[in-house]
Structure 1
Amino acid sequence: MEDRIVLAYDVGTQSSRALLINQRGEILAKSQVKHQEPYESPNPDWAEKDADFYYQNICQASQDLKKRYPEIFEKIEAAAITTIRDTVVCVDRNGKPLRPAILWLDKRKAEGKPKFSQVTRMLFKAVGMEETANVQYQKSHCNWIRENEPKVWEKTYKYLLLSGYLIFRLTGQMVDAAASQVGHIPFDSQSRNWQRKGALTRPVFDVEEEKLCEIKESGEVLGTITAQASEETGLPEGMKLIATGSDKACEILGLGCVSREKAAIGLGTTATITFTIDKYLEPERFIPPYDSIIQGRFTPEIEIFRGYWLISWFKKEFAEKEVGQAKKLGLSAEELLNQRLGEIPAGCEGLLFQPYFTPNITMPNARGAVIGFSDQHTRIHIYRAIIEGINFALMDGMKLMERRSGHKFQELYLGGGGSQSREICQITADMFGIPAIRTQSYEVTGIGCAMAAFVGLGVFSSYEEAVESMVHKKDVFEPNLEQHKIYERLYEEVFKNIYGKLSGLYERLYEIYHEKDLTE
């Protein structure tokens, strides 16, 4: 069968990729541009980046593919793009950014509160969600900009996610995909479009209707490559750019998790556990699920915001020795560290790690914690404890979603950088107690992105057909049930109780370190 080829752009926190992918899910060529500085912090807790930085990187990756693989590049039938979520760009009428993009990692806060009616506020208070609504308002970038940069907000013609901005740079159209709308924005996942003006939670992130872009469905044509974008990317002018979804929406599709018994675990900068279901199901009370790339389906998700970012943190702060050895051996430091994971028994001899370096909505004051230190513990104990801690938090999410959905997961499908390690995959299978599966490539986000393009081109009549052709099991890690018993006991008797025991102290820490004068 002759190859049908699409170009998938995958813009992450730490790198941008361009991949040439065929209808069998084979990555024929890849170019990656690493973000040496993933973000700038002009003030504490800020995470910003020039939005054009990402565009320049995908152009560089694209041109590199064209130079190195000209025969494949000329066969591209369409392009598609997926990006990190909750990263916003304010643009003027000409599409020019008015300020740097604010990334999902940013922790600045607005100072106001949502302007609820008295009845609505009483309702939120009655169900215990008033404080959550206030926290959501304060974390919404639109509210911070409105409060602190009113002239920028006044000049803002469209308030775009990063995906929408890059689509504009490629096509000249201010439009985005429904499955990309993840962030502190007034989006209704049930209607797959913007909230109505009178929607109950609209005051939490009340972006004016005229500042919101047009929404299209995955598989639809967003626009065509402009003459300028053609010159900058190397793609032919007039080529179709097809709608996909956010990086995580593409990841779950690229792992083939289109039925509810399959859980998708993303072992990336943000660690996630999610699945696909054909009904609206909140993963946590009052927290909406995200839209699947597949119309009519949802992907409830639990996120650990600083997931495998913690490996980069550990490497920088504690693994100077392995970094040096890795350079001499021509390996990555992660490879050396992962080889040593087998030296440490399950449970790290009583060392447990809570990975909430960036708290989530339901635990707004949480922090990271390590408990159980003794004189037998080494740096490698800490390294394994980080990996186990991320998995314990994901297990917590899995058990919560199983309770809410009334079903049990049968298999785990692993994606993201962490899934490249056989040791990490086996630890994950042991901890969850069900098989952990790797597919043919860890570049599952790019493969999911390509699937939407192929469905849009009519190569496949459905996403199920695309999965059958493009997703292939490569490795199956069966759980060691004796190890699982150790992990299950540690989870039930210790890990799931840590946050409740420490939450009051976390809250006090937050209060102390947000006082203007710590000496008072």
Structure 2
Amino acid sequence: MNKKYILAVDGGSQSSKIMIFDLEGNVVCEGKENLKPLNLPSPGVVEHPDDDLWDSIAVASKKTLKAFEGNTDDILAVGLCTIRFCRALLKKDGSLYSPVMSWMDQRVSRKHEQVSDEIAYVTTSSGYITHRFTGNFNDTAANYQGVWPMDTDTWQWYEDDQKIADYNLTRDMLFHLQMPGTILGYVTKEASEATGIPEGLPVVATSNDKAVEALGAGCTGERTALISLGTYIAGMVQGHDNPKNTVNFWTNFASVPNQYLYESNGIRRGMWTISWFKNVLGDSFEQKAKEMGICAEELLNREAEEIPAGSDGLMTVLDWLAPADKQFKKGMMIGFDGRHTRAHMYRSILEGIALTMKCRLDEMCDELGITLDNLIISGGGSNSDLFMQIFSDVFGIPASRNIVNGSAAVGSAICAAVAVGAYKDFDEAVRHMVRIRDTFRPDLKNTELYGKMNAVYQDITNHTDDILKRSYEIFS
């Protein structure tokens, strides 16, 4: 029997990635196409220009299939994952009425506005891309968090038409909802010509991108948390219940039918802060790293490994992007003395991220009444051994990372494998397709130190907010 494959679509905020996996979760080949810069035509309006979400997928697909050395007849299905919290307005034929609204667009936090009779459908990024692939008006139910007439208990639209009308929508404007791991339709001839993906392949529903990432990382138990290291850093735990009116987390749909993903409060511009610091160091630092045959991040990690836990008392507060309701908030480093170097500053940023997420996850877990046994860390930052060890030390539990860092693509492949019967259920698919790279275990002396440090760290802003409010009046 020939080896079988899954093609996974990972439509992100910065790029579209297409990966082909075998059924053991190995990456066979991949392609990527960066998205165009967002359109910002007026305050609060943030759009993906032209037909960029689809066009980037088409280009990335052709790159991937060009690199694929296997037989395309052995590709079983397409798993489709796209950005969450986007909104697409479509004409009657399914084409775009206007550019897709980004998750940062203020309109997606409000009810739909029917500005033209040409708007026949209102859907998500996944609904639109599903239509481009299949011609069907189907979508995953698990990408409809936010301002939608959705019953989150049943994963379906409200039965009461008046409730739908309260969102300025009618039932016939909404796509047909399906569960993750089901077939949405089949690749049309037109889509095949645009992407190079074989005509007739089943296109499979996944979920919203964070939930697909959690599935692909193997975060399926109620005592395992995923920390996703991106521009926005968040912690997630999967569960069976749908709690409402929560304080320290919000409830999202999981990528497993009828399960939920609890998502903690996070860090805005989290990993961006590291990029900012690297840029502050200037070209000479980049050049030094280049002369050593390594990247700037690796040089920073090597230097920071020589710094003791706690960065000799230097602490970084990660408010580089203030929340909308507290514009006075600013990032800061506090505790400098003559010992401190750039390595201390870099390590203090890593420790600030880990300490902040410890607080956020503790708040969520206390509200849920659970205790964590282990962590999974995903995203580019997990490539740092130092960062992984800091997470393990701060939390006092093992921290693992996977062989495939792009776990949203793995999650897409898992959903597709289940849909076509390659595995009997999600648990079996996760066991076969998610592969741990290594695990870091806590140094308990460092855990004790970080526990004492965190009590101080979490109290900093209680004393600095008043000063920042006063300075904000001057510099706002």
Q: TM-score, normalised to structure 2's length? A: 0.89
Partner secondary structure for residue 316 of structure 2: strand
Q: 2:284 aligns with which of 321, 332, 335?
A: 321
| 1:316 to partner: Cα distance | 3.7
Return the alpha-carbon distance in structure 2 between the equivalents of residues 265 and 186 of structure 1.
30
Contact 1:353 1:368 in 2 (8 A): no
Partner secondary structure for residue 115 of structure 2: helix
| 1:317 to partner: Cα distance | 4.2
Specify the alignment match of 2:256 in structure 1. Answer: 294
Specify the alignment match of 1:100 in structure 2. Answer: 99
Contact 1:189 1:288 in 2 (8 A): no
Q: 1:271 aligns with which of 233, 239, 261?
A: 233
Specify the alignment match of 1:85 in structure 2. Answer: 84
Return the alpha-carbon distance in structure 1 between the equivalents of residues 454 and 45 of structure 2.
34
Return the alpha-carbon distance in structure 2 between the equivalents of residues 231 and 430 of structure 1.
51
1:151 corresponds to 2:115: yes
1:472 corresponds to 2:435: yes
Matched positions, count: 474
Contact 1:283 1:289 in 2 (8 A): no
Contact 1:186 1:206 in 2 (8 A): no
1:162 corresponds to 2:125: yes
Return the alpha-carbon distance in structure 1 between the equivalents of residues 398 and 216 of structure 2.
18
Specify the alignment match of 2:198 in structure 1. Answer: 236
Contact 1:440 1:474 in 2 (8 A): yes
Return the alpha-carbon distance in structure 1 between the equivalents of residues 185 and 108 of structure 2.
29
Change over 3 Å in CA distance of 1:475–1:407 after alignment to 2: same
Return the alpha-carbon distance in structure 2 between the equivalents of residues 329 and 40 of structure 1.
39
Contact 1:51 1:162 in 2 (8 A): no
Partner secondary structure for residue 173 of structure 1: coil
Q: Structure 1 residues 399-408 or 40-49, which shifts more?
A: 40-49
Change over 3 Å in CA distance of 1:367–1:432 after alignment to 2: same
Q: Structure 1 residues 447-456 or 261-270, which shifts more?
A: 261-270
Partner secondary structure for residue 413 of structure 1: strand
| 1:218 to partner: Cα distance | 0.7
> Over aligned residue pairs, what C-alpha RMSD do you find?
3.1
Partner secondary structure for residue 80 of structure 1: strand
| 1:243 to partner: Cα distance | 0.5
Return the alpha-carbon distance in structure 1 between the equivalents of residues 279 and 220 of structure 2.
37
- Among all aligned residue pairs of Structure 1 and Structure 2, give the percentage whose two residues are the same amino acid: 30
Alignment of 1:205-244 (within 5 A): 209-244=171-206
Change over 3 Å in CA distance of 1:141–1:388 after alignment to 2: same
Return the alpha-carbon distance in structure 1 between the equivalents of residues 38 and 207 of structure 2.
23
Specify the alignment match of 2:209 in structure 1. Answer: 247
Return the alpha-carbon distance in structure 2 between the equivalents of residues 359 and 195 of structure 1.
36
Contact 1:80 1:241 in 2 (8 A): yes
| 1:353 to partner: Cα distance | 2.6
Contact 1:365 1:506 in 2 (8 A): no
Partner secondary structure for residue 308 of structure 1: helix
| 1:405 to partner: Cα distance | 1.8
Q: Structure 1 residues 478-487 or 311-320, which shifts more?
A: 311-320
| 1:442 to partner: Cα distance | 1.0
Q: Deviations over 1:85-129 (max 9, x none)?
A: 1122222223333333332344x5xxxxxxxxxxxxxxxxxxxxx
Specify the alignment match of 1:133 in structure 2. Answer: none
Q: 2:399 aligns with which of 429, 432, 436?
A: 436
Return the alpha-carbon distance in structure 1 between the equivalents of residues 211 and 15 of structure 2.
18
Q: 2:301 aligns with which of 338, 358, 366?
A: 338
Contact 2:28 2:68 in 1 (8 A): no
1:260 corresponds to 2:222: yes
Change over 3 Å in CA distance of 1:98–1:484 after alignment to 2: same
Specify the alignment match of 1:23 in structure 2. Answer: 23
| 1:387 to partner: Cα distance | 2.2
Alignment of 1:385-424 (within 5 A): 385-424=348-387
Return the alpha-carbon distance in structure 1 between the equivalents of residues 274 and 404 of structure 2.
21
Q: Deviations over 1:124-173 (max 9, x none)?
A: xxxxxxxxxxxxxxx74445x74xxx636x54322222222222221122
1:14 corresponds to 2:32: no
What one-letter code is carried by the residue in structure 1 that aligns with 2:70? E
Contact 1:6 1:78 in 2 (8 A): yes
| 1:58 to partner: Cα distance | 1.6
What one-letter code is carried by the residue in structure 2 that aligns with 1:151? V
| 1:17 to partner: Cα distance | 1.0
Q: 1:172 aligns with which of 135, 160, 185?
A: 135
Contact 2:161 2:171 in 1 (8 A): no
1:485 corresponds to 2:437: no
Q: Which runs of 5+ in 2 are unaligned?
A: none
Contact 1:276 1:298 in 2 (8 A): yes
| 1:401 to partner: Cα distance | 1.9
Change over 3 Å in CA distance of 1:181–1:190 after alignment to 2: same
| 1:373 to partner: Cα distance | 4.6
Partner secondary structure for residue 77 of structure 1: strand
Return the alpha-carbon distance in structure 1 between the equivalents of residues 140 and 81 of structure 2.
10
Return the alpha-carbon distance in structure 2 between the equivalents of residues 84 and 504 of structure 1.
37
What one-letter code is carried by the residue in structure 1 that aligns with 2:64? L
| 1:425 to partner: Cα distance | 1.0
Return the alpha-carbon distance in structure 2 between the equivalents of residues 265 and 457 of structure 1.
30
| 1:187 to partner: Cα distance | 3.2
Partner secondary structure for residue 399 of structure 1: helix
Contact 1:60 1:233 in 2 (8 A): yes
Specify the alignment match of 1:115 in structure 2. Answer: none
Return the alpha-carbon distance in structure 1 between the equivalents of residues 156 and 206 of structure 2.
15
Change over 3 Å in CA distance of 1:211–1:305 after alignment to 2: farther
Contact 1:31 1:65 in 2 (8 A): yes
Specify the alignment match of 2:419 in structure 1. Answer: 456
Partner secondary structure for residue 207 of structure 2: coil
Return the alpha-carbon distance in structure 2 between the equivalents of residues 34 and 25 of structure 1.
24
Contact 1:344 1:384 in 2 (8 A): yes
Specify the alignment match of 2:65 in structure 1. Answer: 66
Return the alpha-carbon distance in structure 2 between the equivalents of residues 452 and 499 of structure 1.
43
| 1:291 to partner: Cα distance | 1.1
| 1:487 to partner: Cα distance | 1.7
Return the alpha-carbon distance in structure 2 between the equivalents of residues 507 and 208 of structure 1.
46
Specify the alignment match of 1:117 in structure 2. Answer: none
Partner secondary structure for residue 25 of structure 1: coil
Q: Deviations over 1:401-442 (max 9, x none)?
A: 221121210010111111122221111111111100112221
Partner secondary structure for residue 89 of structure 2: strand
| 1:51 to partner: Cα distance | 5.7
Q: Structure 1 residues 19-28 or 193-202, which shifts more?
A: 193-202
What one-letter code is carried by the residue in structure 1 that aligns with 2:236? T
Contact 2:323 2:329 in 1 (8 A): no
Q: TM-score, normalised to structure 1's length? A: 0.82
Change over 3 Å in CA distance of 1:342–1:229 after alignment to 2: same
Contact 1:355 1:367 in 2 (8 A): no
Contact 1:357 1:366 in 2 (8 A): no
Return the alpha-carbon distance in structure 1 between the equivalents of residues 352 and 333 of structure 2.
11
Partner secondary structure for residue 236 of structure 1: coil
Return the alpha-carbon distance in structure 1 between the equivalents of residues 34 and 418 of structure 2.
30
Q: Deviations over 1:301-320 (max 9, x none)?
A: 11334232333333344443
Change over 3 Å in CA distance of 1:174–1:270 after alignment to 2: farther
Return the alpha-carbon distance in structure 1 between the equivalents of residues 467 and 149 of structure 2.
33
